[in-house]
Structure 1
Amino acid sequence: MARTKHIARKSTGGKGKAPRMELGKQKAVKSGTHSMFAAKSNASGGKRVSVGPVKKPHRFRPGTVALREIRRYQKTTELLIRKLPFQRLVREIAQNYKTDLRFQTSAVMALQEAAEAYLVGLFEDINSAAIHAKRVTIMPRDIALARRLRGEHTLFFSA
Structure 2
Amino acid sequence: MNSFGGNKEFENLGSVIKNSDIVVKNKKDLDTIAYEGRKEYQKKLIKDYSVKYPVKANSIPVLLERGVVDAAILDGIKAITIRGDYEEAGENYTTYNMVVRKAVMGTREFKEFIEKYNEVAEELNDEKLYQKEVKIYLKEGKWPKHVSTPRFQRIKIL
The structure number with the bigger radius of gyration is 1
Does the pair score TM above 0.5? Answer: no
User: Quick one: higher RCO (CA 8 Å, sep 6+), 1 or 2?
Assistant: 2
TM-score grouping bracket, smaller chain normalisation:
under 0.3
Alignment TM-score, normalising by the size of structure 1: 0.23
Q: Name the structure with the higher helix share.
A: 1
